[in-house]
Amino acid sequence: MLTEEEKDTLFDAICDGDRETVVELVDKARSGGHDLGALLKDTMIPAMAAVGDQFSAGEIFVPEMLVAARAMQGGIDIIEPILAASDHEPLARVCIGSVKGDLHDIGKNLVVMMLKGAGFEVEDLGVDVPNEAFAAAADRGHQVICLSALLTTTKPQMLSVVNYLKEAGKTVKVVIGGAVVTQDYADKIGADAFGEDAPGAVKAVKRALGMAN
């Protein structure tokens, strides 16, 4: 079991990007029979949320968020197989990809890290993803599809995906984001939510699923 003080240390280690300490404490929790689902939910996910809030407030920069997410991942790598073997359910199943024609992965990758750090199960479809692949992801049971576009020329492809999913009768939620995307555009194309940055994408996914306002 981890003491309250150790849980505080774990929280701080994630915020500081101290992967070594995160791995050490999560491993200790695992060996001691700690409820890893609770540790993830009550300590680790709030730590990543705090990192996201710091980023959104302009208090830290992307590289610091990357280091924190990597430290978090060190812990998740230990916890995930154990939870997967139990009845533990992720917050939701999300898939993400850069739309057809867009080969950029930089924004998408940040969102993947933040979604995993928030407790979502994430399938990364990669870049240059055709509409059919997003529809197939919906068929595999993903509740949310996140679309990323970095370019003015690939942004219209988001509308194409939304229409394709509608015409195919998929009821999956669609969240969009990327440097060229705005809330107005999300409203215009009928997306369920818009994330203005990586932490904002987590909030948008939660909004789309009715988990947050």
Partner 1 sequence: MTCDPGRMTEFEVAPARLLQTALGRIRRQTQYRRPLERGGRAAAGIEALLAQAADCVAALARPRAVFVPVRADWTTAGDLRLSDLFTLTAGDIGLPPARGGSVTAYLLTLGFSQADAFARLNGDYAAQHVQTDLSSEVLFALGREAFGVQQAQARGRLRRVSIRTSDICGASRLWDAGRVQALIGQFGAANPGVSVTSAGCFQPLHSLIGLTIEAPPEG
Query: Which stretches of the chain bind partner 1, using CB under 8 A?
Result: 13, 16-19, 60-64, 66-71, 73, 100-106, 109-110, 112-113, 126-128, 150-154, 157, 179-180
Under 8 Å CB-to-CB from 136, ≥6 apart: which residues?
Answer: none
Minimum distance, C-beta of residue 94 to partner 1, in the bound complex (Å): 15
Pick between residue 126 and residue 211 the one whose CB is nearest to partner 1: 126
On whether the CB atoms of residues 147 and 158 are closer than 8 A, the answer is yes
How far apart CA 48 and CA 64 sit, in angstroms, is 12
Pick between residue 34 and residue 121 the one whose CB is nearest to partner 1: 121
- Paired strand residues for 135: none
Minimum distance, C-beta of residue 124 to partner 1, in the bound complex (Å): 9
Pick between residue 168 and residue 179 the one whose CB is nearest to partner 1: 179
Helix then strand then coil, in percent of the chain rounded to 5, is 55, 15, 30
How far apart CA 22 and CA 12 sit, in angstroms, is 9
Minimum distance, C-beta of residue 116 to partner 1, in the bound complex (Å): 9
Pick between residue 97 and residue 138 the one whose CB is nearest to partner 1: 97
Q: Where are the beta strands (DSSP E) in the chain?
A: 93-99, 121-129, 144-148, 173-177, 193-195
Pick between residue 26 and residue 68 the one whose CB is nearest to partner 1: 68
Minimum distance, C-beta of residue 103 to partner 1, in the bound complex (Å): 5
Minimum distance, C-beta of residue 35 to partner 1, in the bound complex (Å): 27
